[in-house]
Structure 1
Amino acid sequence: WQQITVQSLAEKWQQLRKNQDAFWEQMVNNEVAAKKALSPAAILALEKEYANKKLAAYVFPGRNLSLTVDADPQAEISSKETLAENLTSLTLSNGARGILAKSAGEEQKLQIIAVSNKGDLSFPAQQKSLIALANKAVSGSGVGELSSSSLKRWSAENSVTMSSKVSGMNTLLSVSARTNNPEPGFQLINQRITHSTINDNIWASLQNAQIQALKTLDQRPAEKFAQQMYETRYADDRTKLLQENQIAQFTAADALAADRQLFSSPADITFVIVGNVAEDKLVALITRYLGSIKHSDSPLAAGKPLTRATDNASVTVKEQNEPVAQVSQWKRYDSRTPVNLPTRMALDAFNVALAKDLRVNIREQASGAYSVSSRLSVDPQAKDISHLLAFTCQPERHDELLTLANEVMVKRLAKGISEQELNEYQQNVQRSLDIQQRSVQQLANTIVNSLIQYDDPAAWTEQEQLLKQMTVENVNTAVKQYLSHPVNTYTGVLLPK
């Protein structure tokens, strides 16, 4: 009672009146709107009026848009080889290679993926981190005579989509089309490689976003930490972030020229084509559209793997905004020889068992850990294997949990995997293989991965047979051979401020 004043009562009364006035105003507006509304009889009259009107046929805006492709009359298939059932290799007269595959499913989808053996590691340090940005800008622009918006309309009308991805040693350009109308897919991939353009506004926008991201990197501690660890693991200038002026000096013309270099030589491109389309029809389209791609006057040299840091390193950064610690530990193993598919499958089976151990021992039993992951990767060019152990936890327990995680890995290496664990792995992989055979997209991705990892588009066809041949002894022998002696260890911890 003592807190109530004339002033506070007046404020409450005004608020009440305001709410009441708003309520009545809404009621009046609704009543006026109701009076303006058409009666049922008026609606029927309008229906009859428009039923008798003849409206002009709607013309889709992209109807008259087209992609003009200059076909090379000299283009032809130089050679043909059957790699496996429903898997054929073609060599074109311009040096390009085509891999044709059919899926076991009934999807009405055709997937075309151009795999170039040129990526951002083919460029010098002052350009490397801009190549993916350039590729994104060009992919968002038009091709040939079609602008960006016209290309979107043309793509929608012809049921085609396109995406691209630049990685270290490769660039992937992926186009999907319909099996009952495959030609637009081939037209688009031809024009994207031979007549790409860049929209100055799109480049300026992406370029500015890159500069702003660089300026505000301190506000994103996890991203900054990841970049610091990336630079720590390699002794290579190509891992460094560019300065603002270096990004600003890279013009739209530079970006377009760099992107075109990624597919500058047909002899360095393999086209993976997956879909249930008659082979004779596909061969005609491949010859016309893919065989017409010309060799550039200045082809790009193949990239070289990043130079590995030879010293162990430990990095601790106290910039995390949240009350959790982020721990990452990379171990690098020198395989000396290329890792083949049977060895990779053995490593994967072991990693599944290791990940389960880490999940049970670190996250579920040792309280304080929130997430944990174990990932193995193989670099076919550098001929080495990397294992990443990562987890988030209570900051005060990061040392203890990292020690425990390493003990878990040592014990699992000594013990190996069991018969039951191998059986579970085989069943899971077999299920994935069954799905893969029926999915156009997954089958295309598998062939591409087989090509990049093993330089053999048919390597994956042996997986089902190799899966049956796996034994506990073979897996454990391979794992101990490859993962017992890390060459380098790089540890990073991101702690709260």
Structure 2
Amino acid sequence: MSNNFVRGLCLAAALCMQSLIQPPAHAALQLDAPIPVGPQVKVGKLPNGLTYYIQRNARPERKLELRLVVKAGSILEDEDQRGLAHFVEHMAFNGSTHFRKHELVSYLQSIGVGFGADLNAYTSFDETVYILPIPTDKPQNVTKAFQVLEDWAHGVSFDTQAIDKERGIVLEELRLGKGASDRMGKQIYPKIFNGSRYAERLPIGQEDVLRNFKPETLRRFYRDWYRPDLMAVVVVGDVDPARAEQLVKKHFSRLKNPANPRPREYAAIPARTNTEALVVTDPEASGNAVLIRYPVQPVREAGTVRAYRDDLVQGLFGAMLSQRLAELAQLPDAPYLGASSSLGKLTPRYHSYNASAALGPRGAAPAIAALVQENERARQHGFGAQELERAKKNLMRSYEQAWNERAKSDSGTYAAEYIRNFLQDEAIPGIDTEYKYVQELVPGITLEEMNAYARRTIPADSGKLVLYTGVSRPDAPSGEQLLAAVAEAARTPVAPRDEKALAAGLMERPPQAGTIVAESHDKALGLTNLTLSNGVKVILKPTDFRNDQVVLSAARFGGQSLFGDRDILNARYSNAIVASMGTKDFSPLDLNKVLAGKAAGVTVGLGAYTDVIAGASGASDVETMLQLLWLKFAGVRRDEDLFRTYVDKQAEIARNQSTLPGRRFGDAVLTALYNGHPRAPRTLQPEEFGKIDLDRSIDIFRQRFSSAKDLTFILAGSFDEKAIRPLLATYLGSLPTPDIPVAYRDVGLRPVTGVVKREVRSGTEPKSTISLNFTGPAQFSEAEQLRLAALVEVTNLRIIETLREKMAMIYGGGASGSLSKIPYGNYVIGINLPTGPENVDKVIAATFAEIARLQEHGPDAAELEKVKSNWIQNHRRSLRENGYWVANLQSALTEGTDPASILKVEQQVQALTAQDVQAAAKRYFDTGNYVQVVLNPESQAAAASVAKAPAATPAAAPGS
């Protein structure tokens, strides 16, 4: 149910939680009472059957999130329409009653709505969803946005020429899905979906249909299924609800249902009664895995408080079992790389109990034994009181955080919840009601109840599918071996699980505190600058952006650059190795247990030229975050078993991925760009992980993180400045600060000069990728950063307009770029373009033609205005984000720029001219100095072939 809503908020708010005030008390809950629709949202239905949801929400300011949701996806396609539900979605952006082809996207870009990043859509089995975020600073934007939604609902043009042009784009999207997962999926999906229609209606469709369908066939799907009784309009954001309701009624009341509507039926998935095994391998698979899927069962949302409580029980069960499986992955000779076991949804209307594992070097048999036996251990012997208490603490904290942030939650999060209500009947009582439910229900969930749930839920003996997927190699198991491993594991007796006692907290006592010795203020930026008695500095920015979030950052020069080439592996992996062994006296899993109910985390490590620290916490957990930070400087927990487990896992991952075309391509690009320099970033070969030295890695880490010399800690978020000062003095003021080097070393890493061209042949599918990298020295400044960024964005507009929309030779791809001053002033612009082998030369020529146009004429006024509008919209939103402030303050320190420039971004953006971008094109697109690498398929036959098989992706990527 609405657990998904909480999870979304947890991700958006990144580790934040504190109860600022307590919600009011409520009467005892009646378990069989229906869950009401919360007062935060107006839910209505028009006479034609269209449902609408309207909620006023202030975050982000001056922004409105609109959605058109259609209960129609690929499952409804006729045999001659396979792939056309998704194709309809594409056509919605290609002309309608009120917008000519390309006019819609161009208009939305002109008001700051980014194509792909903001404006988007997706098609799945049972639904199609259109996503339209709109700035509300001008009333006409909102009015026009509702016209867009209406046009999508019943006014798409389906011009024949536009359809034929779009075929190429959709076929390029299909091409992107080709590869190992596609080939393996053709064998897997019929078994996963038990021979149901879902296996035959993958949203991307069939290539022969996409190439050859008649336009009328596409229009027929639209007429049949785009109708008001299958639609919902979602309106959430900075808008007057009464006005929004008027606009919904004005634009959607006129929609009519067909006189004889086709019945909207949902495909049934038959239950499995027999046990069978399936082994599917491919030379280009990215890894090995096993899945045990137990019988599929229908599920319906009951919509009662009792059903809500059942979901809480299911969540607690999943958390406890996941913790157990994670512990096994930390053992020497671990049975797998990672594993999960839970009751999960296959589709919104069906679920099944599944156990799965990503396989390590020991293969399938140990993983199957561990999965089956841990399930049996939980089923037969249940869980322990400590396990349940920790799971309850974490669950309660997540809801507490969501409740604390109820006035600061993003509109998109609410919109997603209402989409689920329409499509899946998920309850929408609102976070006030949900928090009340959790406070009353969770304490009453007993250990006996949880153990009864485990006995009831974990299948003891039933038909099952045992699936092995992986890289083609001689030691892959047979189906008979998989079934034998499951049977053997089921016969093995399991004992109850013992749990060791853990410390009650991270530290027995606080360290001897330092003092604050100096203080200054920057009123314009709202900053307080502190100097502590050990020389450590702190910048504080208390904000009201979130109610329950504190973000921390620190950096200084040094990093991997201070260690020689022979030490580069030890230096580069020191962060991950130290983290894999835990913190001070706690293993990683023990640390998670001690932190149950807390929201705090800290990462520490060596960058290429800097030592970096990052952290986040809830407002009540700042002390925990600072304790974690202090312990990072107090020593390293040496655990040879965990080190070996980490190295073995990384070697296995590298071994599995060594044959991937994308991996070979990425390595070739870096090798060509840096001419094999030993300090260049690269992926390791499996055997190279054995060269990492544990003690040397620890020594390198300790050299950099036994001293806090020259560190300035930046904290932004929901803290009280007076209350946080003693914590800063205690934990940051007591950090050791012995003398260490605090300057980076220029290691001489430079990209090649001149024009370098390489070809990589890898993969069996007719797929190519073009990589172009322009590099060189540059004078660093904030103004020049802006010019380079504008050039990249205009280039992306040209790539979409020319390579995708006009030539229909790509689906995705684009440019990125950066300007840096460390270790020397330099720039890089990278362009990545997936396409077909037959189109490589045309795509490269068209890209350079657009570069030449930019150099000769610069961008036109409309293009530059689109870039500016989007930047300003994003900047206004980001100014209300703690992470944005911390990142800007951090870059000001490391790059020596003015931190106050964050307040001048709009003026700087508005001052950009077409001449600035044209000059940047001439400066940075040096056609006498670039690296071009092209990935082509291994054989010429593949390059020349036209694949006839459908791409096996479970849901099409956003297509428009």
Shorter chain as denominator, the TM-score bin is 0.7 to 0.9
Counterpart for residue 834 of structure 2: 392
Q: Which amino acid counterpart does residue 815 of structure 2 have in structure 1?
A: S
The CA distance in 2 between the partners of 1:238 and 1:179, in whole Å, is: 40
Alpha-carbon displacement from aligned partner over 1:139-158 (angstroms, at most 9, x marks no partner): 24332333322311222333
Name which of 659, 675, 694 aligns with 1:252: 694
1:74-153 superposed matches below 5 A: 74-82=514-522, 84-153=524-593
User: Structure 1 residues 363, 120: CA separation in 2 closer, same or farther (over 3 Å shift)?
Assistant: farther
- In structure 2, the partner of 1:26 is none
Q: Does 1:194 align with 2:634?
A: yes
Task: Report the CA distance between 1:409 and its aligned residue.
Answer: 1.2
Cα distance 1:93–1:159, how it changes in 2: closer, same or farther (>3 A)?
same
**Distance in 1 between the 2:828 and 2:575 partners?**
28
C-alpha separation between the residues in 2 aligned to 1:452 and 1:284? Answer: 27
User: Could you report, residue by residue, the CA deviation over 1:337-392 in whole angstroms, capped at 9, with x for unpaired residues?
Assistant: 22x22222222222212111111211222233332211111222121111111101
- Counterparts of 1:487 and 1:124 in 2: how far apart (Å)? 33
Higher relative contact order (CA 8 A, sep 6+): 1
Give a deviation string over 1:134-173, Cα, whole Å, max 9, x none. 3123224332333322311222333213345653223433
Deviation readout 1:82-113 (Å, 9 max, x if unpaired): 27421233333433332222334233111112
Q: Report the equivalent of 1:284.
A: 726
Check whether the contact 1:134–1:203 (CA below 8 A) recurs between aligned residues: no
Per the TM alignment, residue 257 of structure 1 is displaced from its structure 2 partner at its CA by 2.1
- Secondary structure of 1:492's counterpart equals strand
Distance in 1 separating the partners of 2:567 and 2:833: 33
User: Is residue 754 of structure 2 the alignment partner of residue 314 of structure 1?
Assistant: no
- 2:786 is matched with which residue: 345, 355, 358? 345
Tell me if structure 1 keeps the 8 A contact 2:525–2:900. no
Distance of 2:922 and 2:836 partners within structure 1? 35
CA distance in 2, matches of 1:323, 1:204: 40
Summarize deviations over 1:285-319 as a string: whole Å, max 9, x none.
22221122113566576242523323432111112
TM-score, structure 2 normalization: 0.43
Are the structure 2 counterparts of residues 214 and 149 from structure 1 closer, same or farther at C-alpha, using a change threshold of 3 Å? Answer: closer
Aligned counterparts, 1:165-180, within 5 A:
166-180=606-620
Separation in 1, partners of 2:570, 2:754: 28
Question: For the residues of structure 2 that align with 1:284 and 1:136, how far apart are their CA atoms?
Answer: 31
CA contact (8 A) 2:514 2:532 kept: no
Matched residue type, 2:516: E
The counterpart of 1:155, out of the listed 595, 613, 621, is: 595
2:774 counterpart SS class: strand
Query: Which amino acid counterpart does residue 616 of structure 2 have in structure 1?
Result: S
Give the AA of the match of 2:813. Answer: V
> Residue 819 of structure 2 corresponds to which residue in structure 1?
378
- Name the residue aligned to 1:442: 884
CA–CA separation in structure 1 for the residues paired with 2:921 and 2:599: 50
1:326 lines up with 2:773 in the alignment = no
Q: Percent identical across equivalent pairs?
A: 18
Question: What CA distance in whole angstroms lies between the structure 1 residues aligned with 2:581 and 2:528?
Answer: 33
SS, match of residue 274 in structure 1: strand
Tell me the equivalent position of 2:856: 414
Q: Residues 237-288 of structure 1: CA distance to partner in whole angstroms, max 9, x if unpaired?
A: 2126667665324333222222233434423423121113222323322222
Q: What is the CA-CA distance between 1:439 and the residue it aligns to?
A: 2.3
Preserved CA contact (<8 Å) 1:118 1:171: yes
Indicate if the aligned counterparts of 1:112 and 1:271 stay in contact, CA closer than 8 A. Answer: yes
Contact 1:133–1:206 (8 Å) recurs in 2: no
Q: Is contact 2:769-2:935 (8 Å) kept?
A: yes
2:753 maps to amino acid: T
Q: CA deviation at 1:320?
A: 2.6
| Structure 2 Cα separation of the partners of residues 232 and 83 of structure 1 | 49
Greater share of residues in helix: 1
What secondary structure does 1:358 align onto? helix
Quote how far apart the aligned CAs of 1:402 are.
0.6
Q: CA deviation at 1:328?
A: 0.2
1:121 positional shift: 3.4
Q: Call closer, same or farther: CA 1:243–1:419 in 2, change over 3 Å.
A: closer
**The residue matched to 1:108 in structure 2 has which SS?**
coil
| CA 199–104 in structure 1, closer or farther in 2 if over 3 Å, else same | same
Structure 2 letter corresponding to 1:172: V
- Give, in whole Å, the separation in 1 of the partners of 2:633 and 2:934: 43
Q: Distance in 2 between matches of 1:260 and 1:457?
A: 31
Query: Of the candidates 912, 917, 920, which is equivalent to residue 470 of structure 1?
Result: 912
Amino acid at match of 1:88: T
Residues 1:283 and 1:172: Cα distance change in structure 2 (over 3 Å): same
Distance 1:204 1:129 in 2: 15
How many Å separate the matches in 2 of 1:89 and 1:486?
A: 47
| Aligned partners of 2:580 and 2:646 also within 8 Å | no
- Uncovered stretches (5+) of structure 2, i.e. residues with no partner: 1-272, 275-384, 391-500, 939-960
Do structure 1's residue 488 and structure 2's residue 929 form an aligned pair?
yes
Q: Are residue 460 (structure 1) and residue 902 (structure 2) matched?
A: yes
Amino acid at match of 2:858: G
The alpha carbon displacement at 1:398 in A equals 0.9
Is 1:116–1:262's contact at 8 Å kept on the other side of the alignment?
no
Question: Is 2:686 the counterpart of 1:238?
Answer: no
Tell me the residue number matched to 1:39.
Answer: none
Structure 2 residue matching 1:420: 3-state secondary structure:
helix
Unaligned runs of 5+ in 1: 1-21, 24-55
| Equivalenced residues, count | 441
Structure 2 partner of 1:304: 746
Contact 1:115-1:172 at 8 Å conserved across structures = yes
Verify the 8 A CA contact 1:108 1:179 in the aligned structure 2. Answer: yes
Give the one of 647, 652, 660 matched to 1:220.
Answer: 660
SS at match of 1:332: strand
Q: Is the 8 A contact 1:318 1:496 kept in 2?
A: yes
Partners of 2:766 and 2:700 in 1: how far apart?
43
Which residue identity is paired with 2:755?
A: N
Counterpart position of 2:735: 293
Conserved? CA contact 1:315–1:493, under 8 Å: yes
Aligned-pair CA distance for 1:454: 4.8
Whether contact under 8 Å (1:97, 1:267) holds in the other structure is no
Query: CA–CA distance in 2 between the matches of 1:277 and 1:426?
Result: 34
Partners of 1:163 and 1:173 within 8 A in 2: yes
Q: Using the TM superposition, give the Cα deviation of residue 455 of structure 1 relative to its aligned residue in structure 2, in angstroms.
A: 5.1
Q: Which residue is 1:427 aligned to?
A: 869
Question: Which secondary structure state, in structure 2, belongs to the residue aligned with residue 85 of structure 1?
Answer: coil
Distance 2:607 2:873 in 1: 29
Give the CA RMSD over aligned residues.
3.1
Aligned equivalents of 1:68, 1:481: Cα separation in 2? 62
Change (3 A) 1:266 1:66: closer
Where 1:88 maps in the other structure, the secondary structure is strand
Q: 1:252 to 1:440 in 2, by over 3 A?
A: same
Aligned to 2:795: 354
